Structure 1
């Protein structure tokens, strides 16, 4: 498990980057101990809403493979519309690691950042479970119009996604161990 922290299209966030590096290691250890699965290599990138949409779409298009540029651009525009309301996003990468994107505009305090980080690291752990990565790739291939999935597979993906979100929200209490009082704010 290797954790790297960087920024994308941000300037003047040196203190935030320093805080993120301090919190990332302890968050990864806590999540690794409390969530079933194995922690893959994680690249944490601090960015703004526009960068979040751009990086997530690029990573998902690479994961899907053989994506038409027009479809990719359409998906990026769609992601950019809702990105201002997103705290963070975890995306599995083609080589097996996970990209965790954090919207710094939505995570103003270390407590909020710790909650978002724990939530997204739980998703990173979920990607290591049997069949999850394949299901996500199948869904992304359908989204980018590379290969269709059946309605049954789409319903299964939606149900599993809801279960994974519930699990990630249920583990946010771990953020209090990193930043005391994180969930109280």
Structure 2
């Protein structure tokens, strides 16, 4: 398991990057102990709203195998709308690793950052489970119009996403071990 922490188009966020590099290995160990399975390779990228949209859309298009520029632009517009309110986002990659995008503008304190980091790392562990990445790819390919999926498959994917979100919210208490009082923030 390798872990990298980097920034994307955010000059002047040195203290935030140092905090992220300090908290990330501890968060990975906590989440890995709390959930079954192995943590895949994780790349954490600190960015702003526009960067989340750019990197998220590019990762989704790569995972779905979409090369069409028009589809990529449409995906980036949709990702921009989604990124306005998101503090973080985890995306599986084709090579089996996970990309975790964190919006630095949404985090006023290390406690809020710790909660988001734990939440997204729980998603990273979920992507390592059997057949989860295949379902994500199938849904993305349907979203991009590459392949169709049945209504049953779409409902099954929606249920999976809801279960994963509930599990991630349920493990946010682990952030208290990184920064005391984090889950209360």
What is the TM-score normalised by the length of structure 2? 0.98
SS in structure 2 opposite 1:85?
coil
Aligned to 1:41: 41
Aligned to 2:81: 81
Residues 4-19 of structure 1 aligned to structure 2 (within 5 Å) = 4-19=4-19
Q: Write the distance in 2 (CA, Å) between the matches of 1:36 and 1:56.
A: 27
Q: Is the 8 A contact 1:87 1:116 kept in 2?
A: yes
Residues 132-151 of structure 1 aligned to structure 2 (within 5 Å) = 132-151=132-151
User: Which sections of structure 2, spanning at least 5 residues, go unmatched?
Assistant: none
User: Which sections of structure 1, spanning at least 5 residues, go unmatched?
Assistant: none
1:66 is displaced (CA, Å) by 3.2
- RMSD of aligned alpha carbons: 0.8
Runs of 4 or more off by more than 2 Å in structure 1? Answer: none
SS in structure 2 opposite 1:100?
strand
Aligned to 2:70: 70
Q: Is the 8 A contact 2:66 2:144 kept in 1?
A: no
Aligned to 1:109: 109
Q: Write the distance in 2 (CA, Å) between the matches of 1:163 and 1:125.
A: 14
Residues 89-108 of structure 1 aligned to structure 2 (within 5 Å) = 89-108=89-108
Aligned to 1:165: 165
What is the TM-score normalised by the length of structure 1? 0.98
